[in-house]
Structure 1
Amino acid sequence: MAEYVKQPIAGPEAFRQTGVAAVQSQAALLLLLGRQLRGDDQVLAARAVAADMPRFVEAVPPDDLAQFPVPQLRPSVDRVGVALVKTRLAERYGWTIVRRTPIPQAELSETLGDLAQTLFERSDAITAAQLMEASLRSADELTRVAAAAAYFELSTRPRRLINILLRGTRSADVLVRDVAATALARVAQEHARLRRMTRANIVRSAGEASHSALLVHGTFARGHEWWQPGGSFHSYLKSNVRSDLYSANDRFDWSGGYSDAARDLGARDLRTWAERHNLLGLDLFGHSHGANVIMQSTKFGLRAGALVLLSCPVHVPKYLPDFTRTTKVVSIRVHLDLVILADRGGQRFRHPQINENVLPIWFDHGASHNPQVWRDHNVPDML
């Protein structure tokens, strides 16, 4: 089973330590800094206010920030020159920190910890840029990817950051790959690498069609096995939660593209698929932006049963269901989901008709479709 973080490492100490909790905490802090400097949360709030829905989204939940505090930065409209950033770093830590020469892990960890400490004491864009620049030297791929994602709109040399994100999309680590792909899609949506990541990889099944439940994948997951008949999570749901989960070869999929247009098309196709199969009233499970696809399908006329949203990025008002066309909406997620941070969406719904359930796990976007997580935390009882 994947190693999940039950307690984050807060503050500068995250950069001084090693291990899964430290690295994921570093990534979360960097991504949160990027959100602040871009003004992501203000954008989310403004959209909700414009739709008269100001209370329906929590961009970054206060209870998460109470356990995982972040320096407060003002949005920055100006980029910070890389030459200035490197000069400041070299003045304090020597030129090794900005050159392509090996740095002992202990030395780099101490440097990053000191930079983070300085940022907590003096919160400004230049200090944040120094932490991001130095984090590009980290031995941990997730930290490098998060730094590149956070730094992109702040740095005067963004092209090199795209290269880091590109390498991240080829990582063997699923979380690294998902954060990198999502961050890349935010800044280079039409990149050829992202198109390759949406290719289908159909797993054939001898299962029979059901009449009441369907599992829908998220962005860049069209070729993954876990959601397809015979796949790990599909098999778990069918054996333990919903024996009527759709399992025939013509199961529904969508492009998995990272755009509103791709999701809208997926939602319309889902409605058409359900109508052609005479499967109206389906209970729908959707992961990540697949959850937004299933919500959107109800706006396009699909009459559904329950909607189960797994690690769903919150983008109100664009993605909310037509509550008159569904019987219940349940959301299941983790604390400070790194992929949702990279997506620049909100972390939680605050809608009275959406039942939010936050697992005692931090950061990992894929935890919500892990069968062992469902067993360990009795997720079926949340439905």
Structure 2
Amino acid sequence: MVQSLGAGHTQKRKSITTVVHGTGAAHLDWWRPNSSFMNGVASQVRNLYTSPDYFRWPGANNDKDRRRAARALVDWVNGHLEPRGYLQLICHSHGGNVAMLATELDLNISHLILLGTPIRTEYTPNLKRVWTVNNVYVPWDIVQTAGSLPYRRGEGRALADTNKLFNRPIQNRIGGIKQSHSDLHDWKVWIDPANRLDQMLWKF
């Protein structure tokens, strides 16, 4: 079930940082409060949303569910964030496409962080609705490129650079091991000196 609580269920906030997980991750813990990754994010921002009604979606691998999740994300944000509030989304894999679809439904995103999101021609952010996009990816991530089919943009990794959209490939190894698709939500990767992805978080 997609989590989508409307206005009146909770006190609206002036700013929110939250996570949108990707395909097949609904049962995993990394994106839930008190996980290692979320605790790492919480150490950097004061507005991480950790109440029990945090956003979630089924994570099915199809366009219909992504579009349904995008609508639910818009409803969730409208029910939790003040008008003109600041929204920072950290989105892994197809969770990034859910967020980009939400911008086509007029969701305003202050800072959109994409982690290994399969870049497809039918999912692109409406940059009139987004202040800044950081697109983080692993150059050898075959999960990302496979997920970009059949509407792959280029290699399925990068978006077009603009004055508000930045592509950030991860080039390093940690402990001699190449980083992979799921490592993009490993806090050790974020704070590695060669990456310092934690520094791109907006600290509202």
Q: TM-score range by the shorter chain?
A: 0.7 to 0.9
Q: Which has the higher mean CA deviation after the structures are superposed, 276-285 or 262-271?
A: 276-285
Matches within 5 A, 1:157-306: 211-239=15-43, 241-279=44-82, 280-306=85-111
Q: Equivalent of 2:185, from 369, 374, 377?
A: 369
How far apart, in 1, do the equivalents of 2:145 and 2:106 lie? 30
- Alignment-derived partner of residue 198 in structure 2: 380
Distance in 1 (CA, whole Å) between partners of 2:116 and 2:12 is 26
CA contact (8 A) 2:70 2:101 kept: yes
SS in 2 for 1:274: helix
1:308: which partner in 2? 113
Higher strand share: 2
Q: CA deviation at 1:296?
A: 1.1
After superposition, the CA RMSD in angstroms is 2.3
Question: For the residues of structure 1 that align with 2:159 and 2:74, how far apart are their CA atoms?
Answer: 24
CA distance in 2, matches of 1:309, 1:288: 7
Aligned to 1:339: 143
Q: What is aligned with 2:161? A: 351
- Give how far 1:277 is off: 1.6
Q: Which residue of 2 aligns with 1:93?
A: none
Cα distance in structure 2, aligned partners of 1:323 and 1:271: 16
CA distance 1:363–1:370, change in 2 (3 Å): closer
Deviation at 1:322, TM superposition (A): 1.2
Total equivalences in the alignment: 177
Report the residue type matching 1:242 in the other structure: V
**Structure with greater helix share of residues:** 1
Secondary structure of the 2:70 match is helix
Alpha-carbon distance in structure 1 between the residues aligned to 2:141 and 2:2: 25
TM-fit CA distance, 1:363: 5.8
In structure 2, distance between residues paired with 1:299 and 1:351? 19
Q: Please, which runs of 5 or more residues in structure 1 have no aligned partner?
A: 1-197, 201-207
Query: C-alpha distance in 1, partners of 2:30/2:94?
Result: 16
- Using the alignment, how far apart are the partners of 1:331 and 1:269 within structure 2? 23
TM-score of the aligned structures, taking structure 1 as reference length: 0.43
Identity of aligned residues (%): 31
Residue 123 of structure 2 aligns with an amino acid whose one-letter code is Y
Equivalent position amino acid for 2:187 in 1: P
Shift of 1:285: 0.8
Distance in 1, Cα, partners of 2:67 & 2:61: 11
Does the 8 A contact of 1:218 with 1:256 survive in 2?
Answer: yes
Q: Which has the larger radius of gyration?
A: 1
Residues of 2 paired with 1:366 and 1:379: CA distance?
15
